[in-house]
Structure 1
């Protein structure tokens, strides 16, 4: 994301969560990578500043970070915040989300590791907390498996697995999310109401991120409808999209939600991971509500995930 993407958009612009932008997408594809510089580092700093302010002043107003969303009433036990250290930038940290898959694996977006410009040196994985810098259970890892065909330039195969150095103990606050079964492998989930969880700011009009984990309910739409807002280069069979229009108005995910989960509830009301947050469209300023949001489709990456699950 560049200065143009941060508020001086011209023509048709697509804001990608990890800092890419596409200009005049129906003519050609132009991509620039700097998610960490443009989004992750500023978000991490603002979240930390707000948490410190909360600690000093309990009356501070904490705003939601997902557009149209609500603060999570308790930590989603499978959600893991990521504080990311970057190679060559020892004084700066970036931020993403992820999902716990087993006692020692979490899944996130590959661009949270490498956005085409900056590469992570280590991750601090935060489990069981609504806050990124305070509370919860914390694990440091440098072990990451990025999808072998991940391409930050064209947003393909945007999936990575983090290995935790030791097993986590499952509690009511820390527990893995279920992956789709073989029976669900062919389900497109179109029409389902899904939930996104993350640390993204509420809207482009807000000057800073907030500090409390947020969630929002979104409807899964078909890829043809999603592609009408993007193009064939971005929306592929490996993409799953949600509508930006909800019952209460415009809803969606925003920068800072990268890598976080999109899930549905099964017949037993158990969460099932169906998407990994990746991108959103914008024509005027970053993270405008009302446009579809894009995710890596989990059923398309089950072989890769299972290969690194244990």
Structure 2
């Protein structure tokens, strides 16, 4: 009986120490999302133009947004997002390339499209550099740079500038975009495509009330979510931007949400671009 109590206590302690974020991105989120989107694109004819509670994103909006079709080493397909920084470089979350038991073999970067599996400018690459201090357990330093063959700029494909300086952006309204889920438990019959949503940046102290300081580092930037509006499963690696004077600037890279879902009112976390600007530039 005493041994059983000890074992139960250890299990409970381990569960308590586990941060309330996904434990295996590709298994829990990326692979199911890829299957759902592929089914939709094969069975539903839509011209739409996944973000929970957001609005359809037209072809010309967020021209820096790149969808990622990820071929894992077991040949299963997963998805993420990315942001185009130049004709040959993009940035995404490190967990899109490697997380727990899953390692990517290659990315297909999809630009200038509202769909993932068809259309747009598509380029394959396995040239991906993840941050040296990336921690797959708490998603600190969750940043990776992708090298692409030359991507031509068009009305629907354009690079985005990196945020610089020391601003924390607290209280600022920012725009997130992605190809991920449109919400928790969304029926597969719903039409889905690239979506965008406006969210307000909050303090890391407020964010840490949900995720703890083990997850929320100074290099994290968080947004508050309300009324069912948030980034959602499959948006990982995509952009969080502000547009002062109409010029978009990348301030965050979608990193984590709460494991219970994206429409529960919990904050959402991003890699803070100003914290990684010098590292990103050193790999451009």
Whether contact under 8 Å (2:70, 2:78) holds in the other structure is: yes
Give the distance between the partners of 2:272 and 2:241, measured in 1 at CA. Answer: 11
Aligned to 2:9: none
Please point out which of 84, 90, 100 is paired with 2:84. 100
Partner of 2:241: helix, strand, or coil?
strand
Aligned to 1:264: 242
Per-residue CA distance 1:101-132 (angstroms, 9 max, x = gap): 01100100000000121100011000000110
Aligned to 1:155: 139
Give the distance between the partners of 2:152 and 2:193, measured in 1 at CA. Answer: 24
Per the normalisation by structure 2, the TM-score is: 0.89
Does residue 211 of structure 2 align to residue 230 of structure 1? yes
Per the normalisation by structure 1, the TM-score is: 0.82
Query: What are the equivalent positions in structure 2 for 1:136-175 lying under 5 Å apart?
Result: 136-164=120-148, 166-175=149-158
Whether contact under 8 Å (2:21, 2:257) holds in the other structure is: no
Query: What are the equivalent positions in structure 2 for 1:1-310 lying under 5 Å apart?
Result: 23-25=15-17, 33-55=23-45, 65-75=50-60, 76-87=62-73, 89-90=74-75, 92-164=76-148, 166-181=149-164, 185-208=165-188, 211-245=192-226, 249-267=227-245, 269-282=246-259, 285-309=260-284
Give the distance between the partners of 1:211 and 1:118, measured in 2 at CA. Answer: 26
Give the distance between the partners of 1:152 and 1:241, measured in 2 at CA. Answer: 18
Partner of 2:98: helix, strand, or coil?
coil
- Where does the alignment leave 5 or more consecutive residues of structure 2 unmatched? 1-13
- Where does the alignment leave 5 or more consecutive residues of structure 1 unmatched? 1-21
Give the distance between the partners of 2:80 and 2:184, measured in 1 at CA. Answer: 18
Whether contact under 8 Å (2:21, 2:256) holds in the other structure is: no
Partner of 1:102: helix, strand, or coil?
coil
Partner of 1:45: helix, strand, or coil?
helix
The CA deviation at 1:202 is 2.1
Whether contact under 8 Å (1:129, 1:136) holds in the other structure is: yes
Give the distance between the partners of 2:122 and 2:88, measured in 1 at CA. Answer: 12
Per-residue CA distance 1:76-103 (angstroms, 9 max, x = gap): 210000000011x22x200000000011
The CA deviation at 1:286 is 2.5
Whether contact under 8 Å (2:69, 2:78) holds in the other structure is: yes
The root-mean-square deviation of aligned C-alpha atoms, in Å, is 2.0
Give the distance between the partners of 2:263 and 2:20, measured in 1 at CA. Answer: 21
Partner of 1:98: helix, strand, or coil?
strand
Whether contact under 8 Å (1:33, 1:117) holds in the other structure is: no
Give the distance between the partners of 1:66 and 1:96, measured in 2 at CA. Answer: 12
Aligned length: 269
Q: Which has the higher helix share?
A: 2
Partner of 1:277: helix, strand, or coil?
strand
Give the distance between the partners of 2:43 and 2:150, measured in 1 at CA. Answer: 33
